[in-house]
C-alpha cells in the first residue's frame, strides 16, 4: 500500500507540474523555404531549440505566463515576439525571416554620412555597442573604456591633472576627430578634458574609422574618426537609475527619464561623479588619482511628423567639472601657490545639436547644426591658464539616387570658431576662424562591387583653399568575403596650448622656432573580411593593413634640451603603418561571445635622414574580451583585456634620472559580473540588476609618472613620464533599475 501511495503521489505531482506548463512549436522559413540550424530560444531562460532539416522546432515544458521568443540566424534580421503560454496548451509560431545583408546588418552613418549596413559600406567602419564597451569595466567616463576597441588606446599626458587623448593606431590624440552624433564639435580645447565628460550611459554605440576622413569631416580628422552616437529616445526605458561606488571612494549616480507621446520622444539624463580621496601608492607624495567632482546633464528629443516619421532631433549637454591633482595638502584655496604644488582645473561646457529633415523630401535633404562653448580656468603650479573656445557649425546635405547604380551626396558646411586665452597665442586679441566648405561624393554600386569617390574644398583665411580627396572601393566575390581599399588625405590646424598641456604643466619653457604650418597626411588602407561558417555560430575574421604619411607634423620635442619643449614643423616626415587582425564570434545557443584583436605598429619620424620611433607610440597593441550569459540564472560574466607593447620614452630622462629608454610591455585584465533579478521586458516592465567588477585584476602599475617629484617647483620637474596604469587593482559595486 505504501508503494502504491508513493507512485500515486508522484503521478499526481508530475501531472500538476505539467499542467503548469505548455509548449511552443513551429516552422522557420525564408523566401518560403525551410531553414535548418536556426537558433530559437526564450529570452531570460535556458529553454531553446534548433530547427531541423524541415525548418521545424519544438520547445517543451515552458512555464505558463509571458515570454519573449527570439529567433536568430546569420544573414537574417533577428525576430522577436511576445507570446503567452497557457497551462497544458501548445502554442504554434511560424516565422518568415527577413533577409539582411547576411552579416553586419547594423546600420552605420560615419563612413559615408548616409545610413548603410556595416557590410555594405565601402568604407571600413568598426561598430562597438555600448554593452561591449562596458562588458568588463565600471566607469562614468568613456576614456576609461575606449581601449577595449581594436587599434584605439588612451594616452595619459599628465600624471598630475590626468589629461588624456584617444590615439588611433598610435597616431597622436589631437589627430583623432571625435564627433557627437556626427557633429565635429569637440574642438581643440575640449579634446583635453571635455572627452572625460562623455558618460557611457548616454551612448548607444561608437563608430570608428581609421585613417584620414577630412573629405566628409574637415580638419582634425588626420588620424581617423570616432563618432559617438547617443541613445535613441524611442528605445530607452521610461525611467532608469544606476549607482556605483569603488574602493577608491569614487561614487557615481546616473538618472534618466524618457517621456514619450504621439508626436514626441525624449531622453533626459543626469550624471554626478565625485572622487575626493587621496591615494599615494607609488610613494612620490602626489595623488595617484585626480580628485574630481563632475556634473553632466544631457537631453535629447525627437519630434515626429503626422505619420510617425522623424522630422527633428535636438540635443543639449551641460558639463561642469572641478578636478584637482597634486600633493596631499593642496586644495583649491591654494590655486597658484608657490609653496604647495597642485594643479586645479575648472571646466564648464555647453553643447547644443540639431538635425532637421524637412517634410516632403523623403529624407533626401538634411539640415544640421551645433553650437558649443567651452571655458577652462586652470592653474598648473604657479602657471595660470584661462581659455575660452566657441564653435558654431552648420551643415546642409542632399542625398540623391541617380538611376539604379549611382548615389550622390553633396553638402556645404560652415564652421566659425573663436578662441581666447591668457597666453601669447592670443596676444593680439581673440582668434577667429571662419571656414566655409563644400563637399560631394559619388557612390557606384552594382552587384558585388562598390566604388566611392569624394572631394572637399575648405577655405581658410590663413592658408587659402584646401582640398581633401578620397577614393574607396569594396568588392564582395561571395556572401562571406569582402575586400576594401581606401585612400585619402587629411589637413589640420594646430593649437599648441589647447591640445598639449605639457606646454603648461611642469617646469619646461615652451619655445616656438618658427611659424607653424598646418599638418597634412596621405593614407591608404586595405582590409579583408571573411565570415567562416560554423552552423549558426559564424566567425568573422578581419585583416587590415594601413599606411599614413604625415608632412609638416608638429611633434613636441623633449630631447633637444631638458629645460625646453620645442615646437616646430618636422623637417622631414613621419609614418604610421602596420597590420591588424580581428576575430569575433557569437555562439548564440550558449549565450557566449568573444573578440580577439592584435595590431602590429611601426610609428616613426624621419628628420634630416635620421629615423626615430615616435615617443609614446607602442610597438603593438592587443584587445580581447568575452561575455557569457547564464540565462536560467540571469547572470552575465564580462571580461576585457588589453596588451600594450613597448613605447619609446623621452630620451633625456634616461641619463639624468635613470628612467627606462623604453617602457616594458604589459597587460591588464578586467572582470564584471551582473545579476539580473527582473527583466524590463517582463510583464511588469521592471528591470533590476546588480553588478560588481574587478579592474586591473593582477594589480599591474607603473612607477611614478613624475620626474623629480621631490622638487615640484624645480627646473627638472615634469609630469609626462606616463606609459601604463598608475592605479592598481580596483573594485566596484553597483545597481541599476529600469522601468518601461
- Higher pLDDT: 297 or 116? It is 297
Give the pLDDT band of residue 190 (cuts 50, 70, 90): confident
Give the pLDDT band of residue 485 (cuts 50, 70, 90): very high
Whole-angstrom distance, CA of residue 562 vs CA of residue 713: 15
Q: Between β-strands 666-678 and 203-210, what pairing exists: parallel, antiparallel or unpaired? A: unpaired
What pLDDT is stored for residue 512 in this prediction?
Answer: 63
φ, ψ dihedrals at 511, nearest 5°: -130, 130
| CB of 110 closer than 8 Å to CB of 182 | yes
Does 468 score more than 70 pLDDT? yes
Whole-angstrom distance, CA of residue 23 vs CA of residue 83: 11
- Higher pLDDT: 472 or 144? It is 472
Buried b (16+ CB within 10 A) or exposed e, 487-519: bbbbbbbbbbbbbbbbbbbbbbebeeeeebbbb
Give the pLDDT band of residue 410 (cuts 50, 70, 90): very high
> For the ranges 125-134, 507-516, 630-639, 727-736, which has the lowest average pLDDT?
507-516
**Contacts of residue 575, Cβ cutoff 8 Å, sequence gap at least 6:** 547, 548, 549, 550, 602, 603, 604, 605, 606
Torsion of CA 698, 699, 702, 706, to 10 degrees: 170
Give the pLDDT band of residue 608 (cuts 50, 70, 90): confident
Average pLDDT, the chain: 84
What pLDDT is stored for residue 242 in this prediction?
Answer: 92
| Mean pLDDT of all residues in 533-538 | 72
How wide is the angle at C-alpha 410 spanned by C-alphas 173 and 177, nearest 5°? 5
| Mean pLDDT of all residues in 554-578 | 74
Quote the distance between the C-alpha of residue 465 and its chain's center: 32
Could you say which DSSP state residue 427 is in? T
| CB of 211 closer than 8 Å to CB of 548 | yes
| Mean pLDDT of all residues in 683-702 | 90
- Full DSSP string of 345-371: EEEEEEEEEEEE--TTSTT-EEEEEEE
| CB of 42 closer than 8 Å to CB of 85 | no
Does 331 score more than 60 pLDDT? yes
What tens digit of pLDDT does each residue of 251-266 get?
999 999 999 888 888 9
DSSP H or E run through 65:
strand 65-72
Torsion of CA 641, 646, 648, 650, to 10 degrees: 60
| CB of 453 closer than 8 Å to CB of 216 | no
What pLDDT is stored for residue 164 in this prediction?
Answer: 82
Q: What SS3 string covers 78-137?
A: CEEEEEEECCCCEEECCEECCEEEECCCCEECCCCCCCEECCCCCCCCEEEEHHHHCCCC
pTM: 0.80
Distance, first Cα to last Cα, the chain: 55
Domains and CATH numbers, the chain: 2-97 (2.60.40.10), 107-217 (2.170.130.10), 224-739 (2.40.170.20)
- Higher pLDDT: 293 or 111? It is 293
Identify the top-confidence range among 149-153, 262-266, 428-432. Answer: 262-266
Length of the chain: 740
Whole-angstrom distance, CA of residue 283 vs CA of residue 704: 8
Q: In whole angstroms, how large is the CA radius of gyration of the chain?
A: 28
Does 181 score more than 70 pLDDT? yes
What pLDDT is stored for residue 511 in this prediction?
Answer: 65
Give the pLDDT band of residue 407 (cuts 50, 70, 90): very high
Q: Between β-strands 431-446 and 406-421, what pairing exists: parallel, antiparallel or unpaired? A: antiparallel
Whole-angstrom distance, CA of residue 379 vs CA of residue 161: 10
| CB of 192 closer than 8 Å to CB of 176 | no
| CB of 177 closer than 8 Å to CB of 221 | yes
| CB of 440 closer than 8 Å to CB of 455 | yes
Residues facing residue 731 across a β-bridge: 694
DSSP H or E run through 230:
strand 224-230
Sign of the CA dihedral 494, 496, 498, 502? positive
Does 101 score more than 50 pLDDT? no
What tens digit of pLDDT does each residue of 499-527 get?
555 555 555 566 666 666 777 888 899 99
What tens digit of pLDDT does each residue of 37-73 get?
777 888 766 678 888 878 899 998 888 888 888 887 7
Could you say which DSSP state residue 247 is in? T
Whole-angstrom distance, CA of residue 666 vs CA of residue 645: 7
Give the pLDDT band of residue 13 (cuts 50, 70, 90): very low
| Mean pLDDT of all residues in 628-647 | 91
Q: Which of 133, 160, 141 is nearest to 296 (CA)?
A: 141
Q: How many CB atoms lie under 10 A from the CB of residue 222?
A: 30
What pLDDT is stored for residue 501 in this prediction?
Answer: 53
Amino acid at each position: 500500500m505504501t508503494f502504491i501511495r508513493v507512485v500515486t503521489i508522484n503521478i499526481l505531482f508530475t501531472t500538476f507540474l505539467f499542467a503548469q506548463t505548455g509548449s511552443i512549436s513551429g516552422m522557420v522559413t525564408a523566401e518560403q523555404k525551410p531553414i535548418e540550424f536556426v537558433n530559437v530560444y526564450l529570452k531570460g531562460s535556458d529553454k531553446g531549440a534548433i530547427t531541423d532539416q524541415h525548418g521545424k522546432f519544438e520547445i517543451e515544458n515552458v512555464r505558463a505566463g509571458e515570454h519573449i521568443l527570439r529567433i536568430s540566424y546569420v544573414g537574417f534580421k533577428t525576430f522577436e515576439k511576445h507570446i503567452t503560454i497557457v497551462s497544458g496548451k501548445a502554442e504554434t509560431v511560424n516565422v518568415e525571416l527577413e533577409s539582411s545583408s547576411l552579416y553586419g546588418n547594423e546600420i552605420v552613418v560615419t563612413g559615408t554620412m548616409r545610413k548603410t549596413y556595416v557590410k555594405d559600406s565601402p568604407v571600413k567602419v568598426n561598430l562597438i555597442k555600448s554593452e561591449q564597451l562596458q562588458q568588463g569595466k565600471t566607469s562614468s567616463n568613456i576614456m576609461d573604456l575606449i581601449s577595449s576597441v581594436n587599434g584605439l588606446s588612451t594616452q595619459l599626458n599628465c600624471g598630475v591633472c590626468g589629461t588624456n587623448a584617444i590615439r588611433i593606431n598610435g597616431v597622436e590624440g589631437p589627430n583623432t576627430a571625435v564627433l557627437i552624433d556626427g557633429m565635429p564639435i569637440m574642438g581643440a580645447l575640449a579634446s583635453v578634458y571635455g572627452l572625460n565628460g562623455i558618460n557611457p550611459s548616454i551612448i548607444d554605440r561608437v563608430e570608428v574609422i581609421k585613417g584620414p576622413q577630412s573629405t566628409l569631416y574637415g580638419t582634425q580628422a588626420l588620424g581617423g574618426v570616432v563618432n559617438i552616437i547617443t541613445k535613441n529616445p524611442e528605445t530607452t526605458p521610461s525611467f532608469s537609475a544606476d549607482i556605483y561606488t569603488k574602493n577608491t571612494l569614487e561614487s557615481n549616480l546616473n538618472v534618466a527619464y524618457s517621456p514619450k507621446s504621439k508626436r514626441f520622444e525624449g531622453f533626459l539624463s543626469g550624471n554626478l561623479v565625485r572622487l575626493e580621496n587621496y591615494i599615494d601608492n607609488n610613494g612620490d607624495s602626489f595623488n595617484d588619482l585626480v580628485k574630481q567632482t563632475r556634473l553632466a546633464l544631457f537631453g535629447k528629443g525627437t519630434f515626429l511628423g503626422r505619420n510617425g516619421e522623424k522630422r527633428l532631433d535636438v540635443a543639449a549637454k551641460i558639463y561642469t567639472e572641478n578636478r584637482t591633482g597634486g600633493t596631499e595638502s593642496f586644495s583649491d584655496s591654494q590655486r597658484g601657490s608657490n609653496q604647495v604644488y597642485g594643479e586645479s582645473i575648472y571646466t564648464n561646457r555647453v553643447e547644443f545639436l540639431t538635425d532637421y529633415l524637412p517634410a516632403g523630401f523623403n529624407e533626401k535633404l538634411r539640415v544640421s547644426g551645433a553650437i558649443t562653448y567651452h571655458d577652462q580656468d586652470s592653474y598648473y603650479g604657479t602657471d595660470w591658464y584661462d581659455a575660452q573656445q566657441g564653435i558654431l557649425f552648420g551643415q546642409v546635405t542632399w542625398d540623391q539616387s541617380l538611376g539604379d547604380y549611382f548615389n550622390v551626396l553633396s553638402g556645404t558646411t560652415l564652421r566659425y570658431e573663436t578662441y581666447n586665452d591668457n597666453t601669447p597665442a592670443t596676444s593680439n586679441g581673440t582668434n577667429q576662424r571662419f571656414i566655409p566648405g563644400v563637399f560631394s561624393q559619388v557612390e557606384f554600386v552594382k552587384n558585388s562591387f562598390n566604388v566611392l569617390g569624394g572631394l572637399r574644398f575648405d577655405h581658410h583665411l590663413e592658408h587659402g583653399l584646401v582640398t581633401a580627396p578620397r577614393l574607396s572601393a569594396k568588392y564582395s566575390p561571395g556572401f562571406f568575403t569582402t575586400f576594401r581599399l581606401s585612400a585619402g588625405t587629411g589637413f589640420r590646424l594646430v593649437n599648441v596650448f589647447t591640445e598639449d598641456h605639457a606646454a603648461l604643466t611642469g617646469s619646461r619653457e615652451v619655445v616656438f622656432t618658427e611659424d607653424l604650418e598646418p599638418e597634412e597626411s596621405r593614407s591608404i588602407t586595405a582590409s579583408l573580411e571573411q565570415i567562416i561558417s560554423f552552423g549558426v555560430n559564424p566567425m568573422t575574421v578581419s585583416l587590415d593593413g594601413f599606411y599614413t604619411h604625415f608632412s609638416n607634423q608638429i611633434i613636441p620635442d623633449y630631447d633637444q634640451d631638458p629645460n625646453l619643449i620645442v615646437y616646430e614643423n618636422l623637417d622631414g616626415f613621419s609614418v604610421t603603418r602596420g597590420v591588424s587582425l580581428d576575430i569575433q564570434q557569437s555562439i548564440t545557443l550558449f549565450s557566449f561571445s568573444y573578440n580577439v584583436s592584435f595590431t602590429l605598429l611601426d610609428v616613426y619620424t624621419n628628420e634630416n635622414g635620421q629615423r626615430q620611433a615616435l615617443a609614446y607610440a607602442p610597438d603593438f597593441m592587443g584587445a580581447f574580451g568575452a561575455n557569457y550569459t547564464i540565462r536560467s540564472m540571469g547572470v552575465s560574466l564580462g571580461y576585457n583585456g588589453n596588451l600594450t607593447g613597448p613605447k619609446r620614452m623621452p630620451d633625456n630622462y634616461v641619463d639624468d634620472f635613470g628612467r627606462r629608454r623604453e617602457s616594458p610591455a604589459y597587460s591588464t585584465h578586467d572582470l564584471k559580473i551582473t545579476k539580473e533579478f527582473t527583466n524590463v521586458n517582463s510583464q511588469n516592465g521592471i528591470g533590476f540588476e546588480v553588478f560588481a567588477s574587478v579592474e586591473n585584476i593582477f594589480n599591474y602599475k607603473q612607477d611614478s609618472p613624475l620626474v623629480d617629484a621631490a622638487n615640484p617647483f624645480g627646473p627638472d620637474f615634469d609630469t609626462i613620464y606616463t606609459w601604463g596604469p598608475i592605479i592598481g587593482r580596483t573594485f566596484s559595486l553597483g545597481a541599476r533599475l529600469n522601468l518601461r
